[in-house]
Structure 1
């Protein structure tokens, strides 16, 4: 941590309302250094800037405008400051430090260690309820906010950036966990989590009762108690989020499970029927699915939901959704370049006044309906625009029943050569015993803990704030460029995968299936701040982090390649073939799990109830005059134009836009868009979607059939051939 600090403040020029910024950075050396920093950050036409340090003040333009103060009658301007809580990703500060390091104004070490802090400022005039306005500007789960004035920030405060201060009592601490014979006590353990040294549960584990019985029996047979990190690993691996256990459960009429019977089974039958015309190259076996683009390239596709995280933090939930599926494409085969993003929102109406809470005492509020809408839209915007990936396609659907838990879909399409320069099939990757485990990207912190188990249970007062993260798209863009532009085609990577909702536990646990084991050295994992315990290091997710399998002789070259891109890479273990997943801390064993047991969660068996009969006595409503009826229908939120939303999402970056999201003379949103990913050859990718939420309530089968039918018709209308649809 730097010993002293400079504060860079940017405000609207001329005392006008508007946005601003306050940066806390390692102390700038002198006035010339401060002027160079202001030149980099301040727009002299619309902004005024100042650098405030212990040695003095440097400004660009006029100083603080005295008219920007709160008057005696309470009117006048107020300044709202919002910044991340300690430990939450601060992408603005990190980017600012990178700029200052490029200008040689701060050290590379301070920039790499993210030694800084950023507060977003907003100057507004004559707000009737300033406290309510402040509450609408930030999410207390991940941010802090305050009300002040221009004069409060236009000076040297002498403050240090807020930082995480952990007691450090659990550094290196590995606990043994008692698994009681009483079923209710077992379920309490699942709901509340493993008690820490202070006796409080760490957060939900999401186990079923038969899971806990299986775990207890397994460790009884081993004649030892499980450690906390072993229980956390099983919870992550067996979670609904990671294992899709409901889709794989035995059901009457689908004993192999919904997935194997109706999804994988249907796909298998279609592929067999198409024979030589089959366009599928990789399905149900990797981070995304891959189909033929042309003789030389393939495209992959991945869509997932981020519903629970978005209910707590709409911005972070949506952003981590889109950058997460970006990484799924990066982790497909030997690595695919993301060429477009997609989105989908099922949200409450913006004017819904209801307030919802996570607890019965009504002390922990969920975001307002307006805050939920604004947050998810902004999250997809920043996740795509800042990554240089176009976002041409999506949908928006309103119903107040999504007030408590929205549906937030994020999707990415990637492009990859079918063969690498050395002739290998680019969809094939394989970890080998002895390969080094290299972690690349963001450091590990408390944010992101219990993401998998939290997403697998109902939202309530025990839902941990640490499960919600803020992504860092710019770091991920650097990671993506290093992977795709350099390492993939040089053949330096054996295998790679995203650090999913379980962090290192998720990625390394999956990759170790191929070799039959792994050993991880948790004390070597780079941390955002000291004080994390072994189990936290192991299961904490990071939005811009991946795990790689690298042949030992290539480790140094790979780490150097990433360093040249400003991305941190660290060797943290080895893949083995001894049948065990092992983790150590300072040479002491913290985990020793049998690989077969880890990846064989007990199957669920669920009852099946007949679908309710569809009422045949539907009454046709009395309709007003046709013109008034048409106007009323057109005024419905689900039929209105989405131009303001679409224009926020950059669909022109990468220069491949063909059929754009706003179409026709009236420039209304279309049902499908077309992107040309390779400008030097013919061929394009058409994308669309369809859903019928209200029909789903009455007849899910009919809703699914209609959705597939409508999506195919929309693709055909956009010019896509039916035999190339997937």
Structure 2
């Protein structure tokens, strides 16, 4: 907190202008001024003046009683790169700032990781400072009006959910972090509340519980003959939230009037895994991540999380902590797994969306995309974990609710795959300190967004610090190997509330909240309990091991403290300053939530006939699909991620002659010295949901598996993860579509023998506007992980050699419903792709065997854009050409060349096979649909013949340009 006895120093750092001797680029300045220019038309219309450019700088605010020489030393030795930057050091009360200066800095209580690192670095110089804050500063021309600056600041310069905007001079008030807290036990008089009062309490308290649940809470405390405290209500709300309990998909339901046997997940993804009963599934739907057997010594675990609502409000922080959170899920699996790679999948509205059409409270999609990508990039890169696989989808319905999926794979000693806290174990908090970060994050994620969400729920956003988590990870894995704890879990949604509540569910726990280490003073006991401050884990530690664990943590500068003990009795007891502030029965907390029946109504209709505009040409359609948002190159994103760190990446996200072709999946070799590997891939195609949600779910499962198979993964050792992201499932027609998708998960997984081992759902992804809700399309992400028995046999999708045969595996059907061909050409109707698991399983096994026996030089699955896009991508990735004949393509019926080229039928691969190995490969496939359809050529063009002659002839270079240019 600011003090009257310390000096407030401003260290302002500006990028030097580029010169022949100094060829550096100020990226932040360039991006800021580009964003300002994009607002030009709107500003001119509203204010009658153009949006001017601005000068940018960054800086640090220090509270310290130090001589100017020491501040100069800090500035030049630590904080600035004096080769390309210039530094100006002043005291805040001894300078004048131009009126048209805007300073942006984190709001009090928002995590500032750069400031934390700076303070630690200053301490290494032997210099003590009271506090450090960072800022960004923008200087506009003197003739820019105040109204114009107030307009551009929240749209370009700052996110007011987490940042404060200061016009002109800064003062000490802008540095304040917290104030003293006077303890007062808060009791909520719920027993006399009627329905309206209960609903108001839920809404205004951001509990996000429905009326039935609020009544159950009231009745419980009436039976107890007492009123609840605020912390008890918050604990119940966290535990009962959709985010933590998945109550919609786990609760009772009906579909078309027929009741389910259990919850929807229990009847579908859980059931198929249980029925398959595969011995290599070690732990499924029990721990923080699903675990499968890797080899005799190691197991592999995988988890994919969503962080949608926080990313809609603060894209960088939401995505940053989304990845940080799923990494902690892996660290909290078993007794601690080592993260070995990350995945990410994003869903955005178009980055070209018109500014003037943005609803109030919505951040522009281009800014969302940049923030999300950089948030994931910074966390993974700084922790030294490679990001090896992912996807990006675009649809205007993601405008109010972008989707952010973050996944992590971990390596776990097989004897450390299970955990169990024991009565008498100490509850130890490890890692970062507790602040107001993410208050109500779990409950907030269970509601719908609206125009006021940014201001009402801004506290639900967290900011991560990857360096803190890296140190935490290193300590945790050493402590695991020393056998210093019985159990571990992460502080995710709900913070200590969920971590301790889940670990102590079967026994009980006593927590002394004033033992927690705080970032700043002023937090109430309830804020300490439900804070979602990042980089924290909770361990169950035998008391005899506490001393050794504490010394280990001190040696690595990781904070560790005892919060309480796990105790028998089935009670959760919370105390603060010696007084009981909360006491809840674990049984009521975890089993007391009333079940609410959800009703599903079918919306499936027969497909409309396909209608294609008469002027559609194959070449133009191919260029259009390659350049469309969903298919085009994502190299701009991929290149920002380090996918080589740890040295285990075998098949990388970009492959081919120039290392810029789109890989189907990733392959890593996680154990040094071993050639055994893991393939990681995914399937997602929300466009198909508009045609048929059952078909959509079936298709994305098929896509995830064939992506894995295409690089060498074993389909018989393949596990799946599901992530359902839907709108408001209270509406029967919406719940009906999620039922249909879940039924497909059950049916297709059973047919392919692929168990589900983990999952996560995110519902209520709607943004309320005065004109009605913006509802995301039903979106199912299927992630897949499979064993690669020998990574030396893994293959990539780029063509390798002139003269090799191109062999199409799988049956092409008249299935253009929901296709990218329809999207690009304006065609309508058509049948959505179907899945035949009987034939499909045989195809997967045959392709896997052919790859394992070294017959296949390259392999690419057919997905968005069908055969035409697949062969084009293989050709320009390998910088070779291809000639194919559609007359030889295996089809279900007679169909025209356009349909054969662009059908998105499932379970199809295009293989490159040497001439001398072709007969043996065809014999291996037997009666399965397969045919040689062409050859690899030296001529760098794609030529396609049909029954009537040449259908298409396109330059490979021009096709690649269409694919690469849009996001270049």
Q: Calculate the TM-score normalised by the size of structure 1.
A: 0.86
SS of residue paired to 1:116: strand
Residue number in structure 1 paired with 2:236:
234
Match in the other structure for 2:437: 447
* Structure-1 residue corresponding to 2:473: 480
How far apart are 1:570 and its partner, in Å? 1.4
2:61 equivalent among 24, 28, 37: 24
Residue 180 of structure 1: CA displacement? 3.6
Match of 1:697 among 690, 696, 713: 690
SS in 1 for 2:201: helix
Would you say the 8 A contact 2:109–2:178 is kept in 1?
no
Inter-partner Cα distance in structure 2 for 1:341 and 1:417: 19
Give distance in 2, aligned partners of 1:99 and 1:599.
Answer: 44
Q: Please report how far the alpha carbon of residue 121 of structure 1 lies from its aligned counterpart in structure 2 after TM superposition.
A: 4.5
1:176-228 deviations in whole A, cap 9, x for unaligned? 332445223222222222xxxxxxxxxx2121222122222211111111111
Matched, 1:347 2:351: no
The answer on whether the counterparts of 1:393 and 1:661 sit within 8 Å (CA) in structure 2 is yes
- Measured in 2, the distance between the counterparts of 1:447 and 1:654 equals 31
Measured in 2, the distance between the counterparts of 1:84 and 1:705 equals 45
Give 3-state SS (helix, strand or coil) of 1:598's partner.
helix
Q: How does 1:459-478 map to 2 (within 5 A)?
A: 459-460=449-450, 461=452, 463-478=456-471
Deviations 1:628-658 (A, max 9, x none): 3322222211121111111111111112221
Residue 393 (structure 1) aligned with residue 389 (structure 2): yes
Deviation (angstroms), 1:51:
4.1
Separation in 2 of the partners of 1:377 and 1:125? 32
The Cα of 1:8 is off from its aligned counterpart by: 3.0
CA contact (8 A) 1:355 1:368 kept: no
CA drift of 1:542 comes to: 1.3
Structure 1 counterpart of 2:310: 309
User: 1:368 is matched with which residue?
Assistant: 364
Aligned to 1:163: 176
How far apart are residue 413 of structure 1 and its match? 0.7
For the residues of structure 1 that align with 2:512 and 2:179, how far apart are their CA atoms?
Answer: 22
In structure 1, C-alpha distance between the alignment counterparts of 2:406 and 2:139, rounded to whole Å = 33
> How far off its partner does 1:174 sit?
2.2
Contact 2:471–2:558 (8 Å) recurs in 1? yes
CA drift of 1:125 comes to: 9.2
Residue 36 of structure 1 and its aligned partner are, at CA, apart by: 5.8
Q: 2:203 aligns with which of 183, 191, 197?
A: 191
8 Å CA contact retained: 1:447, 1:540 = yes
1:501 aligns with 2:493: yes
Which residue number in structure 2 is paired with residue 457 of structure 1?
A: 447
Equivalent pair of 1:24/1:161 in contact (CA under 8 Å): no
Counterpart position of 1:40: 78
Measured after TM superposition, the shift of residue 723 of structure 1 is 1.9
Moved more, 294-303 or 34-43: 34-43
Q: 206-215 or 375-384: which moved more?
A: 206-215
The corresponding residue for 2:267 is 261
| CA deviation after TM superposition for structure 1 residue 475, in Å | 0.7
Is 2:706 the counterpart of 1:713?
Answer: yes
In the alignment, structure 1 residue 335 sits paired with structure 2 residue 329: no
Distance in 2 (CA, whole Å) between partners of 1:698 and 1:529 is 53
Q: From the CA coordinates, give the structure whose radius of gyration is larger.
A: 2
Q: How far off its partner does 1:721 sit? A: 1.7
Deviations 1:579-625 (A, max 9, x none): 21010111111111111111112222111212331333342333433
Measured in 2, the distance between the counterparts of 1:209 and 1:614 equals: 38
User: What's the offset of the Cα at 1:453?
Assistant: 0.7
How far has the Cα of 1:321 moved from its partner? Answer: 0.6
Over 3 Å counting, the alpha-carbon distance change for 1:186 and 1:79 in structure 2 is closer
Name the stretch that deviates more: 701-710 or 677-686.
677-686
Write the deviation string for residues 694-714 of structure 1: whole angstroms up to 9, x where unpaired: 212332221111111111111
Structure 2 residues not aligned, in runs of 5+: 20-24, 29-56, 720-968
- After superposition, give the CA deviation of every residue in 1:473-510 in whole Å (9 maximum; x if it has no partner): 111111111101x2111111111111121111100001
Q: Distance in 2 between matches of 1:188 and 1:452?
A: 19
Q: Is the 8 A contact 1:502 1:540 kept in 2?
A: yes
1:103 corresponds to: 125
Query: C-alpha displacement at 1:305, in angstroms?
Result: 0.9
Structure 1: which 4+ aligned runs deviate by more than 6 Å?
54-57, 122-129, 355-358
Q: Distance in 2 between matches of 1:225 and 1:488?
A: 42
Question: Corresponding residue for 1:636?
Answer: 628
Secondary structure of the residue aligned to 1:493 is coil
Counterpart for residue 509 of structure 2: 518
Q: What secondary structure does 1:177 align onto?
A: coil
Q: Secondary structure at the match of 1:211?
A: helix
Distance 1:123 1:622, change over 3 A: farther
The Cα offsets for residues 263-294 of structure 1, whole Å up to 9 and x where unpaired, read as 11111122x2x4xxx32111111001111122
What residue number does 1:198 align with?
A: none
CA drift of 1:538 comes to 1.0
Alignment of 1:525-536 (within 5 A): 525-536=516-527
Match of 1:91 among 108, 113, 133: 113
Superposed displacement of residue 116, structure 1: 1.0
Q: Tell me the residue number matched to 1:421.
A: none
| 1:560 corresponds to 2:598 | no
1:383 aligns with 2:386: no
3-state secondary structure, aligned to 1:7: strand
Residue aligning to 1:406: 402
Q: Find the partner of 1:576 among 560, 567, 571.
A: 567
Q: Which residue of 2 aligns with 1:323?
A: 324
Preserved contact between residue 4 and residue 160 of structure 1 (Cα < 8 Å): no
Give 1:554 deviation, angstroms. Answer: 1.9
Query: What does residue 583 of structure 2 align with?
Result: 592
Equivalent pairs, count: 668
Preserved CA contact (<8 Å) 2:651 2:668: yes
TM-score (normalizing by structure 2): 0.65
Alignment of 1:104-119 (within 5 A): 104-106=126-128, 115-119=131-135
Does 2:421 align with 1:431?
A: yes
| CA RMSD across the alignment | 2.8
Deviations 1:146-203 (A, max 9, x none): 567xxx8xxxx8858612344735x34322332445223222222222xxxxxxxxxx
CA contact (8 A) 1:38 1:50 kept: no
Give the Cα–Cα distance (whole angstroms) in 2 for the partners of residues 79 and 668 of structure 1. Answer: 45
Residues 127, 283 of structure 1: CA spacing in aligned structure 2 closer, same or farther, 3 A cutoff? Answer: farther
SS state at 2:342 partner: strand
Tell me if the contact between 2:436 and 2:533 (Cα under 8 Å) persists in the aligned partners.
no
Matched, 1:177 2:189: yes
The answer to whether the 8 A contact 1:26-1:106 is kept is no
Per-residue Cα deviation, 1:362-412 (whole angstroms, up to 9, x for no partner): 5xx221222211111111111211221111211111111100111110111
State how far apart, in whole Å, the 2-side matches of 1:339 and 1:523 are: 36
Q: Is the 8 A contact 2:664 2:710 kept in 1?
A: no
Quick one: which of 393, 396, 413 aligns to 1:417?
413
Q: 1:8 aligns with which of 11, 19, 24?
A: 11
| Cα contact 1:350–1:369 (8 A) shared by 2 | yes
Match in the other structure for 1:60: none
Q: What is residue 218 of structure 1 aligned with on the other side?
A: 220
Is the 2:191–2:219 contact (alpha carbons within 8 Å) kept by the matching residues of 1?
no
CA contact (8 A) 1:172 1:585 kept: no
